Amino acid sequence: MDYLRRSARVSKLDRVRNVEIRAKMDATQTIVDGVEHRGLKWFGHLLRMEHQRWPYRIYSWSPPGKRKIGRPRRSWNEGIRRAMEDRNLEEEDVLDRNRWRLGLGMRR
């Protein structure tokens, strides 16, 4: 947002909302959307790769032992699943690349 704010020549003191600045600069995608998009692209790549490769093996590995007491942190996998749910994507859609690519751009 700082970059867009400086590009639009708007100061924080001007008290202009971020939504208005994004509309003025034609920046429709937020940083959070970009991070989710890249994560989903990697997830699709990960599930299509051979199961002997290290990235897939690390993804499917679960650490031994007990968890710490308290509320568990949200994992990367849970964040990806939530982003998939927002875009109405299923895990089987990964195998159909065109469907997966079309689904990455959709959001609610």
**Alpha-carbon distances, residue 97 vs 2, 34, 92, 104 (angstroms):** 35, 19, 10, 11
For residues 59 and 19, the answer to whether their CB atoms sit within 8 Å is: no
In order of 8, 15, 25, 45, the CA distances from 20 in angstroms are 10, 11, 9, 35
Closest CA to 107 of 90, 78, 83: 83
Q: What's the average pLDDT block by block, 10 residues per block, for the chain (108 residues)? A: 91 92 87 90 94 93 88 90 92 91 76
Q: What's the confidence (pLDDT) of residue 107?
A: 60
Q: What is the pTM of this model?
A: 0.75
Contacts of 37 (CB under 8 A, 6+ apart): 29, 104, 105
pLDDT at residue 66, as a whole number? 87
